[in-house]
Structure 1
Amino acid sequence: MTLGQYAMILIIGWQTYDISRNGGMSIEGAAGQLALIGLLQFVPLFVLTPFSGLAADRLDRRKLAQSTIVLQFFCAATLAWLSWTDAITVPWLFAIAVVLGIVRAFNGPALSALSPNLVPKAILPTAIALSSISWQVGMIVGPGVGGYLHAIEPALPYAVATVLFTIAILSLGTIGKVPQTNIVGAAHPIRQMVDGLHYVVQNKMVLGSITLDLFAVFLAGATALFPVYARDILQVGEEGLAQLAMAPAIGATLMGLVFSFRPLANNVGPAMLVAVAVFGAATIVFGLSTSMPLSLAALFVVGAADMFSVYIRQSLVQLHTPDDKRGRVSSVSHLTISASNEFGDFFSGTLAWLIGPVSAVVVGGAGAIATVALWSRVFPVLRTTRSFDPPPELAKDDS
């Protein structure tokens, strides 16, 4: 699924920027089009997240995830046909972005909440690391598939994505029946959604971890501007665009491999704060670079630092949340991820339109570092958490 997603998403951004530039738009104006792509993905996700989390707790998580991949299959097939017939336009790309926003609202919570149902609690951090590796491998190979195939024929990345989504649908079908967890507490669906949000707010560990990622990545999200750097700053074309997209994923995958063999056990909270600060600093280096090797090295560090913090955050959130609330809490977590990614793309594109792409990336990286300093004071639990062990009442509940 991730291979197909990232092969498709990268080319959607490239085609939007390229069509806009070929139509006579300035660099800043075309970057503004990239901002709209991020916004159009975020708005439906923001609206639907409360419902998607409840769906992940009330419905079969495996079947729900399969349904979202079916929708992605049709998106890829549509874009393949439009590209093949040379009918692709920016409005079409915007429309597909909206559908992908709807898909991701339901896809993320279902898959995240499914993981704890498939492995024993004791090895969940290792399972999360392995799951992250598969996601990061998709991020590495997907953009490579998208960038290089698009250089051959614009329709090829989307055609390959339809095949990959088909494989993903069949793969989820190999998972047996997943036990459904009864929701504890209020019976009314609206009240159940509110209960999930209330749990996030009252649990300072969960709230601090989720919002740290939200603001850091929101501010320092440089990925939306990769087409700008590939075409007009580094001047490396579609192949270079693929390399830029692959570099952070390679760093993240190697870090995930380390955690799969040697899971982190001590000082997890302080380590997460340091990782986010490194993420911001490496983003600043990328923003200022005019050298392709330096840019790739900086993005490698960005990916490794991001994986470090994601591994800790996901483990803490899953292990500090009761199973009957994991779908709803995961939906809140994925809303913040998308706010930091898709809405962060809108923020980065808008900032690039206002002050230029280089300044936008540098300011964002500095903002991520400032977020770490502030969150370490607002959420002191992040500085004092030494292990992944959940509170005794949660450990007893999950057993």
Structure 2
Amino acid sequence: MSKLPNNSASIFSVMSQLANQHGAINLSQGFPNFPEDERLLQISERIIRENIHQYTPMAGLPSLLEKIALLTQKQYGRTVNTNTEMLITAGATQGIFTTINALIGAGDEVLILDPSYDSYEPSVLVGGGIPVRVALNEDYTPNFNRIEEAITHKTKMIVVNNPHNPTGKIWTSQDFEALETILEKHPQILVLGDEVYEYITFSQPHISFHTREKLNQRTIIASSFGKSLHVTGWKIGYLIAPEHLMQEIKKIHQFLVFSVNSFSQHTIAQYLEVVDFSEVSRMYQKKRDLFQSLLKDSRFELMPCDGTYFQVVNYKNISTANDVEFAKELILKHGVAAIPISVFYKEATDRQMLRFCFAKTDETLIAAAQKLCQV
């Protein structure tokens, strides 16, 4: 019997395969196509000749854990214990899967805010839990009345993705206060904070769960070096959680991964000494601004993008087709691949929205925009 009977090939694979078949510019999958920082490459070239190719400790390379602790202190003012509250993971997705399967049991309910990243629900289902999808407002802000109404005695976790994929929305301090008010009434509920785009924000600062003292002892925060350092193929991220939760997460992690690849850990540990994450944010803001300026005369309506490297557009002035069909048409007739937003909803809610990834070279964005302006 299948544990995931309704899962098939992901929309990301489908759209990328179509793009490859038809020679389309691929703005669907969320990974950069520009070169890595030369400093990172130089460290990589030097370190690969060193004696760094055996297992690291299960929780992570100590020097990397120490650098992350310093970064967390600098960025958020939070002191974390490298021995008991941190874990290096094989990408944030593995960290999220491990967390859910360590802390959610059969029949436990997990609230997922739609539209949502496609790994959350399968992670819950594999663990025997029950995913409860709660729709965001039409402007993609959280609807706390719906969230509170969805809570039952079986609710054990809520997943919050901030900054938000696919919409680029960022939570405000008022949003966090509203969540804290609700969770004060329900001490059994844990929070899984997916903050993989924490260093890619624009119009307002990212507010991290690290800064929410009321929630620190019940929150697991997932971060991604793949996203922050644009090395998605390295598949390396990390979790920070209070000791009593991290103990359970490590029990699962040791049999799922044991330890993450040593090369990337050693390289990133040294790179964190020189990288400035504010530079990452500024670089992506320039790309967002360029892409938006290139599309301003198109028939697409651009939605606000406060963070992430995704731009959502509405195509209601162009077509009445559903978003999956229009996304396929965009590849076949116009040579640009995007992701339809309906696939991020449990009910496949279609508001005629597409998601473009602008983590691309300027040349790629210019070429794609030229095609999109002719749609």
TM-score by length of 2: 0.28
Question: Which protein is richer in helix relative to its size?
Answer: 1
Question: Which protein is richer in strand relative to its size?
Answer: 2
Which gives a bigger RCO, structure 1 or 2 (Cα 8 Å, sep 6+)?
A: 1
